[in-house]
């Protein structure tokens, strides 16, 4: 029997936000390697009895590859559970590369990104006509470098809606660069910690006031920073043509 690897988007936290396909793969998987620092362990309730489960947060890429390739050699079905959607800061490319080099069949099951769970909690649209029709997903440099051309200052000059991942511990620098880049101090900001989890927290304000609010909250990880006027469109929002009068 030939094994196969599924990279599965496990969603932002709430197990009800797993897709039906993700749930089916989980139910069938013999080996599950899951991002235990971000994925809600509750989703493992869908795993079949006897499935081998590994948390990936303490494993290197080589160790993960060893587990996955070993399972494939045994003809097993492997679910590599990743938080949100695997295509967003999912270290996906380096993992699929190993599989391609070893001729292993794989498939990617998309998931609900934490970005969309955060928007649902905030009840906002990222793309409000008359304000912004562009969404920039970015981060500050941390474990991974960020190309100079993508520094937050230059991205801020567009004044588009921005979602900043993996950077809450650097909130001072983020805000400083966004202001230097061109967002006015009164630009709305929201920080969503553990979107869709039971202990989710939301902080709302503007660029001028958000830093002390975040520091007081003690939030240092697993949070998204959303910025832009689309968060509070007020009178500037324009109707789209989507629901215009039909002839
Ligand atoms: C390695 S990235 C993974 C992102 C994931 N692939 C996604 O689509 O949401 C981890 C970062 O995503 C964000 N994140 C992940 N889960 C989150 C959640 N439930 N609520 C808020 N932010 C979250 C945080 O910025 C965190 O530092």
Rounded Cα distance between 86 and 112, Å, is 9
pLDDT at 242: 76
Secondary structure string (H, E, C) spanning 142-198:
CCCCCCHHHCHHHHHCCCCEEEEECCHHHHHHHHHHHHHHCCCCCCEEEEEECCCCC
SS3 200: coil
Intervals of the chain under pLDDT 70: 1, 245-247
pLDDT at 243: 77
Residue of the nearest CA to atom 18 in ligand 1?
Answer: 194
Rounded Cα distance between 231 and 122, Å, is 8
Rounded Cα distance between 233 and 211, Å, is 22
CATH topology of domain 114-235: 3.30.950
pLDDT at 205: 96
Q: What is the whole-number distance in angstroms between the Cα of residue 88 and the centre of ligand 1?
A: 8
Rounded Cα distance between 93 and 90, Å, is 8
Q: Rounded to two decimals, what is the model's pTM?
A: 0.95
Q: What's the CATH architecture for 4-109?
A: 3-Layer(aba) Sandwich (3.40)
Q: What is the whole-number distance in angstroms between the Cα of residue 190 and the centre of ligand 1?
A: 15
pLDDT at 246: 65
Q: What is the whole-number distance in angstroms between the Cα of residue 84 and the centre of ligand 1?
A: 7
Using CA atoms, how far residue 225 sits from 38, 165, 203, 210, in Å, is: 17, 7, 9, 10
pLDDT at 1: 47
Q: What is the whole-number distance in angstroms between the Cα of residue 39 and the centre of ligand 1?
A: 9
Please report, for the chain, the start and end positions of each structural domain, with discontinuous segments joined by +.
4-109, 114-235
Work out which ligand 1 atom sits closest to the CA atom of 35.
1
Rounded Cα distance between 52 and 71, Å, is 10
Instruction: List, chain by chain if needed, residues with CB within 6 Å of any ligand 1 atom.
Output: 12-13, 38, 83-85, 88-90, 113-114, 117-118, 165-166, 192, 194-197, 222-224
């Amino acid at each position: 029997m030939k094994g196969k690897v599924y990279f599965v988007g496990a969603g932002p936290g709430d197990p009800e936000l797993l897709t039906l396909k993700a749930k089916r793969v989980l139910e069938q998987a013999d080996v599950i390697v899951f991002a235990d620092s971000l994925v809600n362990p509750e989703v493992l309730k869908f795993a079949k009895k006897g499935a081998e489960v590994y948390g990936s947060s303490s494993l290197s890429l080589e160790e993960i590859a060893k587990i996955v390739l070993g399972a494939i050699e045994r003809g097993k079905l492997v679910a590599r559970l990743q938080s949100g959607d695997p295509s967003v800061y999912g270290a996906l490319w380096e993992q699929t590369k190993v599989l391609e080099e070893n001729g292993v069949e794989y498939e990617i099951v998309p998931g609900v990104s934490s970005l969309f769970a955060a928007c649902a909690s905030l009840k906002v649209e990222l793309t409000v006509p008359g304000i912004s029709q562009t969404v920039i997903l970015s981060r500050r440099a941390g474990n991974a470098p960020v190309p100079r051309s993508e520094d937050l200052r230059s991205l801020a000059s567009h004044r588009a809606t921005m979602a900043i991942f993996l950077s809450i511990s650097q909130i001072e620098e983020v805000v400083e660069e966004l202001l230097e880049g061109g967002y006015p101090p009164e630009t709305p900001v929201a920080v969503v910690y553990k979107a869709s989890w039971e202990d989710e927290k939301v902080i709302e304000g503007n660029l001028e006031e958000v830093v002390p609010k975040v520091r007081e909250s003690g939030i240092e990880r697993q949070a998204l920073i959303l910025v832009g006027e689309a968060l509070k469109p007020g009178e500037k929002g324009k109707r789209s043509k989507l629901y215009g009068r039909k002839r």
